[in-house]
Amino acid sequence: MNIAKSFVEYMEDLGYGTFGTDIFIGVVPQEAQNACWWVFKSGGSSVRKNSTGERTKEYNLSVYYRDTDAEQVYELMQEFEEEINSKGCVQLDGYDTIEMEATTFPTDQDLDNEDRVIGLLNVKIIVYQNT
């Protein structure tokens, strides 16, 4: 399973939506409802590699949410940021997660061509990979 899909499952577990209905990876289909999330893989890097082959990797995801209600966009993004930056370390399915944090607070990305407000949250995920 890739990191974006595992992150989407985490969002589903929190009740933010359902993959393929109102949560998407990469692009949002034209027929999608106004209120929806999408996760975009923004790259990453190898942070450290041990001589025995274990590696620490950092992934970066951009998480977008759109809706026609600007206040709702900000409130939901703020709630999700606080969930990600909670005290505990969230474990993503298929990964040994060391750290996950929202590196920016929710930002307003203006309106799309159908007057829906788009919010953005950047997330950094650090995982341990055993050979």
Q: Tens-of-pLDDT digits for all 131 residues of the chain?
A: 799 999 999 999 999 999 999 999 998 998 999 999 999 998 765 666 776 667 889 999 999 999 999 889 999 999 999 999 987 888 899 999 999 999 988 776 676 767 788 999 999 999 988 75
Q: What is the pLDDT of residue 129?
A: 80
Q: Who contacts 22 (Cβ-Cβ below 8 Å, separation ≥6)?
A: 32, 33, 35, 36, 37
Query: How far apart are the C-alpha atoms of 52 and 43, rounded to whole Å?
Result: 25
Domains of the chain and any CATH numbers = 3-129 (3.30.2000.10)
Query: How far apart are the C-alpha atoms of 18 and 35, rounded to whole Å?
Result: 12
Cα-to-chain-centroid distance, residue 50: 28
